[in-house]
Structure 1
């Protein structure tokens, strides 16, 4: 695990994004169900509520607009009532529309019938949007590109993006990044794009079934290289996301969803938040963390729904991913805390199997100040200190458990044998170590005292240790 340095939420108003792709109308009819039809063994729904929402690429555009991004949309609709229902909320949200309207096809519409917030059936009204003659999209995209910083392609396999390669080439020729939400088993269509956001199933349809994460990562990296992509962001459902970027280690972002209510449109929210963050200047790993946060909010809503900038800001600032920081982010965060007059306490350890002795010790440490930083040995560091067979739990799991403690504010890994360099960079007000150490033996003590800080030694609870727990398990 490589914890992500997360800057503050960017000013999305600086971003300008062009969305092109399949557009559709999501319809929701809802009502009570109290009996079974005498005509067939199906429930009878008495409809008392109707709602229309933009879907597909239109939902992506609406998500961008909800974040304050200047947004334009290119796509194809019919000339019908559904098209008017689709475009009205987009205009109201300030999305600039560059649409090709056809008389020979209906606007794609998906009608969902719900009762007690459960979907009973979905009815699709659609025909292929593939052009019968000249493809209208390249000209529409070409005309709009000079006014935007990023091109986002939303492919639902409905025929609008019959030749995404032309669009990618035109955007890249202008030096613009291209993000693609892909569809189908031929990802060569997206060669040269900046980043693709397939889910695991979509990726495996291209690279084959992957029995484990190592296989998935290896095949995804090979695909990224073959297609000359800068990155792949693979969504893993309840397991979160996996970022594979050129020249960097694979980065797993655990899910931030607290409750999964409806996954409809979650992919739209992910790519919209990611595109907005990148266009507003966030680095890729932090932008992916923000998109992960937005996805957690989206799946807690019913149907295709956008995530507003205020709720995203609240979740982003308050979520547990703000607890897991790398060195640079930790130094920045601690500096902000001290500027607010907060007293920062820091300690370190392996914390391989967390037990009551650890919990009591961390509570004592936290009581010495306003914030507690825990530095954690990475796996190689633990192995050098404790020998083969350790750690029992990997650094990702150890950090996640520590992050869940009320006493802990920030967790940061280190790879050296001692945390001295990290402690000196952070400069805590109080450095704490547990056990029978003398102050002079504690790594980083000299740096802390030179800055006027305090070094404290706290007692561990007697008889509690990870080694003792491991020994007891082995004796069973």
Structure 2
């Protein structure tokens, strides 16, 4: 498995669904009247691919062009706290697609905004030699330095575990093409009619059947023939042509052709966004060390489940996040311990709602509560990566922190290095953390019984049976998700390095 996030490079659109009831025709024209309209916005294009990958628990960086108009600001709000966005400049309005829908069917689509990604601030796009542009520093999620967004983009690609190029022809992939050509991580290319041909050497190209017809330039015979031809013509490692409800056909160098059927039938559902889910799932699998066949089988299953759950139209996001939906009262800032509410001084924070109150508010609003736990002594990039991925699994994240006494009991008399109050304060400062609770026992079982999270996240290579809290989570109707840690990042290593430097 390669360390590093999934980096999605591509064009992001704002998708708006206006949904209502259509029970009559307009008296002055033979068109339906849509009444009681409700509006739902979500990222589209590369933004949707990034969002869906993050919702599966992946750490995701999105490199995209975004404007400063209302649609661009809305996009950034929707993505905030879910994926790391590296924003390139956009010339023109943010592309927006508005669908008028009734009874699950699209009646009309309005397209506005023809903005395109532009070259770097010096007027030139990066042309390889990425190391000269970005220096030797690795990409650190959430970091903000003095370098330009272009430098951040290059550093992200260099540090990627896998890369997805989602090319809608609006310039983002073109701006980064030279850097993508030098990438060492597995590169999945999701082509679209207005985009350029994929780079030679891609690990996987994922056109739909309609896109494969265009790539074959009028000589399309069948999906099988097209997959073999594109494998040769594009000079890539594998081609998977997606076939909707029929699954996908996979061609690989030196291997027999495979037809991969979906795990279960899905009929009558809106397939919008299925290609984005497919490409993202395949990229994550390749980054995790899977071969092309395993990656495509995983992607077919992920896309099928996505469509079965309602597709892109079922994606519901809150731009403001739970902090604004659940306004806070004045007063001190508490952290809930297993022995009751534990109030910390008000000067240490500005979010006084208790974690238990936050949990109840999330449930009352129909949200999905995520919780995780640990000592979080000497917070490092591995911790931040885990917390960001955990937050992407729901609508609010509560971090359960071992008290000083609990840490000493688990780690020994020399720990914690950072005291309880400071550890809580640092965690609360993170954008991805909505609440912090402190417990005194060796495990957070008692606290979990009170919080009742929908998702309990643990970082590491545990089996679920190894976690004493797993049964408590399941008994309350929740699920346990185990996320991989970032290799080479640990508090123990930090302490050892500090001692060696003395």
TM category, shorter: 0.5 to 0.7
**Is the contact made by 1:111 and 1:123 (CA closer than 8 Å) also made in structure 2?**
yes
Which residue among 76, 100, 114 is the counterpart of 2:65?
76
The corresponding residue for 2:104 is 117
> CA, structure 1 residues 169+211, in 2 after alignment: closer, same or farther (shift >3 Å)?
closer
Quote how far apart the aligned CAs of 1:64 are: 1.1
The corresponding residue for 1:143 is 155
Which residue among 211, 220, 224 is the counterpart of 2:227?
220
**Is the contact made by 1:108 and 1:126 (CA closer than 8 Å) also made in structure 2?**
yes
Distance 1:168 1:131 in 2: 17
Quote how far apart the aligned CAs of 1:140 are: 4.6
Which residue among 211, 214, 228 is the counterpart of 1:202?
211
Quote how far apart the aligned CAs of 1:190 are: 2.2
- TM-score of the aligned structures, taking structure 2 as reference length: 0.53
> CA, structure 1 residues 87+128, in 2 after alignment: closer, same or farther (shift >3 Å)?
closer
SS in 2 for 1:123: strand
SS in 2 for 1:161: helix
1:154 to 2:144 alignment = no
The corresponding residue for 1:25 is 14
Which residue among 28, 35, 55 is the counterpart of 1:39?
28
SS in 2 for 1:19: strand
1:275 to 2:275 alignment = no
1:266 to 2:246 alignment = no
Distance 1:305 1:31 in 2: 15
The corresponding residue for 2:56 is 67
Quote how far apart the aligned CAs of 1:117 are: 1.6
Which residue among 176, 199, 202 is the counterpart of 1:193?
202
**Is the contact made by 1:185 and 1:205 (CA closer than 8 Å) also made in structure 2?**
no
> CA, structure 1 residues 87+211, in 2 after alignment: closer, same or farther (shift >3 Å)?
closer
Distance 2:311 2:229 in 1: 37
SS in 2 for 1:198: coil
The corresponding residue for 2:294 is 286
**Is the contact made by 2:169 and 2:195 (CA closer than 8 Å) also made in structure 1?**
no
Distance 2:236 2:24 in 1: 54
Distance 2:242 2:282 in 1: 12
The corresponding residue for 2:258 is 251
CA deviation string 1:51-90 (max 9, x = no partner): 1111100001111111111110111111022122212232
Quote how far apart the aligned CAs of 1:239 are: 2.0
> CA, structure 1 residues 128+268, in 2 after alignment: closer, same or farther (shift >3 Å)?
same
- Higher fraction of helix: 1
Distance 1:159 1:211 in 2: 27
> CA, structure 1 residues 164+236, in 2 after alignment: closer, same or farther (shift >3 Å)?
farther
Consecutive unaligned residues in structure 2, runs of 5 or more: 127-148, 317-367, 369-388, 391-502
Distance 1:166 1:304 in 2: 35
> CA, structure 1 residues 249+185, in 2 after alignment: closer, same or farther (shift >3 Å)?
farther
Distance 1:276 1:247 in 2: 23
Quote how far apart the aligned CAs of 1:225 are: 2.6
1:238 to 2:245 alignment = yes
CA deviation string 1:85-111 (max 9, x = no partner): 212232232x11101244x41111111
The corresponding residue for 1:229 is 236
Quote how far apart the aligned CAs of 1:197 are: 0.3
Which residue among 176, 185, 192 is the counterpart of 2:185?
176
CA deviation string 1:133-165 (max 9, x = no partner): 434886453121233211210011223323564
CA deviation string 1:328-348 (max 9, x = no partner): xxxxxxxxxxxxxxxxxxxxx
- The total of aligned residue pairs comes to 292
Larger radius of gyration: 1
1:100 to 2:88 alignment = yes
The corresponding residue for 2:80 is 91
Quote how far apart the aligned CAs of 1:210 are: 6.1
Distance 2:23 2:195 in 1: 46
Distance 1:19 1:125 in 2: 24
Distance 1:17 1:56 in 2: 16
SS in 1 for 2:79: helix
Quote how far apart the aligned CAs of 1:28 are: 0.9
SS in 2 for 1:249: coil
Consecutive unaligned residues in structure 1, runs of 5 or more: 1-10, 311-476
